[in-house]
Structure 1
């Protein structure tokens, strides 16, 4: 049985949940091409913008302007009074669809990408081969976008860099979905990364980490994509909590004292793009 309460139904595929500067939950719906903001207290929801090439990761510059990943054309867009404008072009770094994003307090954005056509690979051969220890995913780079929109490589050869979070000690944690691990980096004053090491190995638990959220104690909440549950993981890989969801969980956020989970029957476009089976689910922490 699910431990969560269903907050909202009728999504196609929710992703990139974040608590916004105004306290609302912001999230993307891939196949409705919308970024929305939801007041968890009142249930009132607003469409913030439409992203024709599919929205994903979200974040804010220090002055409050919204950044959103435009997946299929591999760009980061910025919301101005007149609408969305290009903030950064990732085509020189992203080798397939751009995806999740973390924007830090300085306005620096770290942006991951698929690395290859994952959906086509699953459609052709299923998920089974990717679960085998001998299968190695193509590597790709994590992009660093500075507040002025300039782009550089933050780290190379990650296996589907996905959800990200900052630990209380300032380290960056990246979910390497197809390496079945969380990877940590030291962050320099200029935003560059070093000291790469495994934060938590997750293959033995069958967890391909998708979206993540870091809590105040340094625990990392992980959406495992293939399972209807969210896990809290500590450094070293110990799982300290499990929260059951009604459907497979693809992304998580901490909003106030609640864990918000984006769930759906699948991530395959042919299964979810034409339906409205996605949900937002919440759990009181």
Structure 2
């Protein structure tokens, strides 16, 4: 892997859009645009921690604001506004997000206070329609995290980080989710009793991206690697972060769609990441390009 950028605190939510990488730096409270040459440019400040990113069909950037549980909207002319308030439906942090071709945002919720070591509880997927209305789309997920939508906008696949699996849903015309099913069980499903037990899995799927063959490249948050997972769960390729770093999210982009961008850091512990500029982005060339649809 080749280093693209260093000096961040903790990078998350990477996306490829209009010839550049976009990434959230949680604890620097900003979204960055990063060129293929590694030059970074400030896009927007998000005081309550940015995470998932996505774009509406008319070009506005949506940003998940984690701690106050809002979706912010940055218009093409640079105006920041509130797109949706999710706080009534999520008592804990919101996290990653995917926006489908109709402008509907699907947002994962923690379900419990992970950083305080609280007793684990399942999280939800919330759907934000283009008009800003918020709906519970799916419940009882083991830390819903990275998500992808198929090019036809008819299937959503979510990584359940502390369930060791991907779960798929059929997307109805109105954006509601149905026909829940396991897309792949990639790791051992741990007990959901405590912080100590939920990490007892050999695969913790995190941020992810869909490729043109219907496989998913996903960060394994506990093992410092990105894996290409086939439908059904077989790992057909993998790449490890250098120097024992953790790898927490990834996406595909570049001019030909075959560049894998990986978000790395020594750990995901909040107090450690705020104390040192050790977040880095790495790139790696893969064989199969990104899907033509959403991430």
Q: TM-score, normalised by structure 1?
A: 0.90
Aligned length: 267
Runs of 4+ with >4 A deviation: none
Q: CA deviation at 1:190?
A: 1.3
> Does structure 1 conserve the Cα–Cα contact (< 8 Å) formed by 2:66 and 2:95?
yes
Alpha-carbon offset, residue 5 of structure 1: 1.0
How far did 1:82 drift? 5.3
Does structure 1 retain, via aligned residues, the 8 Å contact 2:110–2:122? Answer: no
Give ranges in structure 2 of 5+ residues lacking alignment: 189-200, 287-295
2:186–2:234 contact (8 Å) kept in structure 1 = no
Structure 1 CA distance for aligned equivalents of residues 43 and 13 of structure 2: 14
Q: Deviations over 1:174-223 (max 9, x none)?
A: 01111111000011111111010111112247111111111111101110
CA RMSD of aligned residues (A): 1.4
Q: Which residue of 1 aligns with 2:2?
A: 5
- Of residues 10, 14, 17 in structure 1, which corresponds to 2:11? 14
Provide, for residues 1-23 of structure 1, a one-character-per-residue CA deviation record: whole Å limited to 9, x for no partner: xxx11111111000000111x12
Q: Which of 87, 94, 98 does residue 98 from structure 1 map onto? A: 94
State the Cα distance separating 1:232 from its structure 2 match: 0.7
Q: State the alpha-carbon separation in 2 of the partners of residues 162 and 91 from structure 1.
A: 18
* Equivalent residue, structure 1, for 2:47: 52
Q: Is the 8 A contact 2:170 2:180 kept in 1?
A: yes
Compute the displacement of 1:137 (Å): 3.8
The secondary structure found in structure 2 opposite 1:210 is strand
The corresponding residue for 2:290 is none
Q: Counterparts of 1:45 and 1:276 in 2: how far apart (Å)?
A: 15
Q: Structure 2 residue aligned with 1:159, among 130, 133, 142? A: 142
| Residue in 2 that maps onto 1:148 | 131
Contact 2:126 2:137 in 1 (8 A): yes
Match of 1:193 in 2: 177
SS at match of 2:116: helix
CA distance in structure 1 between the partners assigned to 2:223 and 2:162 by the alignment: 15
Contact 2:10 2:26 in 1 (8 A): yes
Q: Which residue number corresponds to residue 198 of structure 2?
A: none
Give me the TM-score of the superposition, normalised by structure 2.
0.87
Are the aligned partners of 1:93 and 1:141 in contact in 2 as well (CA < 8 Å)?
no
Contact 1:202–1:237 under 8 Å retained in 2: yes
Q: Is 1:165–1:213's contact at 8 Å kept on the other side of the alignment?
A: yes
